[in-house]
Structure 1
Amino acid sequence: MNIVIVGPGAIGSLWAYKLHQAGHKVSLWGTKQNQQWMLAADDSPEILFSYNQPQTLIDADLLLITVKAWQVEAAITPLQPHVNKDAILLFMHNGMGAVDNIVELIFEYPVVIATTTHGALKVDAHHVKHTGIGQTQLGAFNEKGSQCTFLVDVLNHALPTVSWNSNIRFALWNKLAINCAINPLTAIHQCLNGALAEEKFRPTLDAVIDELVCVMQAEEIPVDRNQLTTTIDNVIRATAANKSSMHQDIFYRRQTEIDFITGYLVRKAQQHGIEVPANSELYKQIQLLEKNGKHHD
């Protein structure tokens, strides 16, 4: 397939490299002024990719969009006129709501949503590390997207394990719940994920989880409070040595994805008339840190 990776950050670079290794014609699209870009993954040699070449958009069978949630609209809007209506748009980012914001722009395309637990770290501009083996789930965003189940084989061949989830909203909500619990706290306290296992964080985590369960039930997402708590605690343990993306964004004074994680939860809670004081407080604190561009010592 002709594949364009839009936003070759850590996870985008990892997929670009793996898809190229699997025999696809992969190009990159990003914010640099280059026409070519070298990429290496782990200990494998560098590969030269074409970068920001308009012809690659015209020829694309698949756009894999791996920008951050708040960048989705700005990234897709200028590209859309050049992309064939048969090309599949596959969105892979943290949080929810970003694709809903551009429905009018993309309704003619087959649209697929992905959530992944693979870990990736950009060591430098040209080198990505695969820091954690995970799983990827795909699901249809629209009717045309539901005809794209073959993408499971395409992606699974490059970076297993990939599966199709006909209830992708359930998977997205569960990922959102994990992000709501871990990301803001690690960003505010500038701590590793594993620090959240300390007793002092338990009351906040419990309050966040209680509120998540209420909103998820209102959204008709199957959820069990004990199961969700176990899942979140397991992720905290399994990723103990990791810094969350929000931790990194606050540290480097970048915009975070808070509006599409905790912000999305707060907006859904308001629609259902549910009070979510613990999540609202975390949301405010992150917004304040973003505004001040300062990080907590």
Structure 2
Amino acid sequence: MNILILGPGAVGSLWATKFQLAGHHVSLWGRTSESELSLQLDDAPLTTYSNQSISSLQEADLILITVKAWQVESAIEPLLPHINADTIVMLMHNGMGTAEWLESKLSDNPIVIATTTHGAYKPTKQHVLHTGHGYTQVGGFNAKGAKCEFLQDVMNHALPSVNWNPNIHSALWTKLAINCAINPLTAIHQCKNGDLAAEQYSSLLEAITHELVEVMNKEAIVTDFDTLHRTIMQVVNATAANYSSMRQDVFHKRRTEIDFITGYLLQAAKKHQINTPENAKLYQCLKQIEQSWTEQ
């Protein structure tokens, strides 16, 4: 396949190198205007890819968007006139809310959503490390996207394991709930994920989870407090040594994805007239932190 990676950060570079090793024709679309970019996966040889090639964009069978949620609009807007109506467009980022906008711009295209637990890190511009093996879930966002189940085999061959999930909406909400519980707290307290297992966070995490369950049930996502709380704590313990992406963004004074994580939850809560005070406090705290950087 002709595959274009929009946003060759850590996750985008991981998939780019894996797709290339699996025999696909891979091109990149990064922020730099250089015509070529080189990437090295772990100890593999350096490989060169075309960058910002209009012909590669026009010929793409699949565009994988791996920029952060708040970057999606500005990243893909200039590309829209060149995207073929048959090109599959896949979103892979934390948070929710961008697929609706994308569909309004590419109403004829198959739109697919993916969520992955693979870990990746770029110590340098060219070097990407596969820091943690995980799994990826993929599913269709619109009717045409729902017909793209063959992508499971394509992606599984490149970076296993990959499962096609006909109910990807439910998987995304579960991922969103985990992020709502872990990311803001670790960002505010500048701590590792595992630190949230301490007693001082216990009642707060429970309150956050109760609010999440109420909203998810109204969104027709079947869950209960015990199930969701157990899932959240499993992730806290399984990723105990990790820093969340939001913690890293705050540490480096970068814009976070709070609007597409907790912000998305609050929008859904408002729609259903559900009171979510604990999540609202976390959201306001993160917005104040972000605002403080621009006021300096």
Structure-2-length-normalised TM-score: 0.98
Q: Distance in 2 between matches of 1:101 and 1:249?
A: 24
Cross-structure match for 1:221: 221
Measure the CA separation in 2 of the matches of 1:31 and 1:240: 32
Residue 105 of structure 2 corresponds to which residue in structure 1?
105
Counterpart in the other structure of 1:11: 11
2:129 is aligned to 129
State the distance in 1 between where 2:247 and 2:122 align: 15
Residues 73-111 of structure 1 deviation map (CA, whole Å, 9 limit, x = unaligned): 111111111111101001101101112123220111011
Which structure 2 residue ranges, 5 or more long, are not aligned? none
- Counterpart of 1:32 in structure 2 is 32
Q: Residue in 1 aligned with 2:141?
A: 141
Q: CA offsets, 1:211-260, max 9 Å, x none?
A: 00000011110112111111111111111111110001111111100000
Aligned: 1:270 with 2:270: yes
Pairing 1:192–2:192 present: yes
Shift of 1:33: 1.7
Mapped partners of 1:42, 1:243: distance in 2: 21
Is it true that 1:259 corresponds to 2:259 in the alignment?
yes
* 1:31-180 equivalent positions in 2, closer than 5 A: 31-180=31-180
Q: Deviations over 1:194-213 (max 9, x none)?
A: 11111101111111100000
Q: Does the 8 Å contact 2:61/2:86 carry over to 1?
A: yes
Partner-residue secondary structure (3-state), 2:114: strand
**Is the 1:195–1:240 Cα contact (8 Å) retained in structure 2?**
yes
Give the SS at the match of 2:280: helix
**CA distance in structure 2 between the partners assigned to 1:201 and 1:2 by the alignment:** 47
Structure 1: distance between partners of 2:161 and 2:225: 27
Q: Take 1:106 and 1:223, find their aligned partners in 2: how far apart are those partners?
A: 32
Moved over 3 A (4+): none
Does structure 1 retain, via aligned residues, the 8 Å contact 2:103–2:111?
no
3-state secondary structure, aligned to 1:5: strand
% same residue: 56
- How far apart, CA to CA, are the structure 2 residues paired with 1:108 and 1:276? 37
Q: 2:102 and 2:160 mapped to 1: Cα distance?
A: 29
Looking at structure 1, the residues matched to 87 and 264 of structure 2 have their Cα atoms a distance apart, in angstroms, of: 28
- Matched with 1:242 is 242
Counterpart contact for 1:138–1:163, Cα < 8 Å: yes
| Matched-pair contact (CA < 8 Å) for 2:89–2:110 | yes
Deviations 1:113-164 (A, max 9, x none): 0111111111111111111111111111111111110000000000000011
SS at match of 2:78: coil
Q: What one-letter code is carried by the residue in structure 2 that aligns with 1:229?
A: H
Partner AA of 1:164 in structure 2: W
Distance in 1 separating the partners of 2:24 and 2:247? 34
The answer on whether the counterparts of 1:72 and 1:99 sit within 8 Å (CA) in structure 2 is no
1:239, 1:46 → 2: CA distance?
30
Q: Displacement of 1:293 after TM fit?
A: 2.1
| Amino acid of the structure 1 residue aligned with 2:94 | N
CA distance in 1, matches of 2:285, 2:41: 36
Checking the alignment, whether the CA contact within 8 Å between 1:139 and 1:166 is kept in structure 2 is yes
Q: Is the 8 A contact 1:250 1:293 kept in 2?
A: no
- Alignment length, in residue pairs? 294
Measured on the aligned residues, the alpha-carbon RMSD in Å equals 0.9
TM-superposition CA deviations, 1:252-280 (whole Å, max 9, x none) = 11110000000000110000000000000
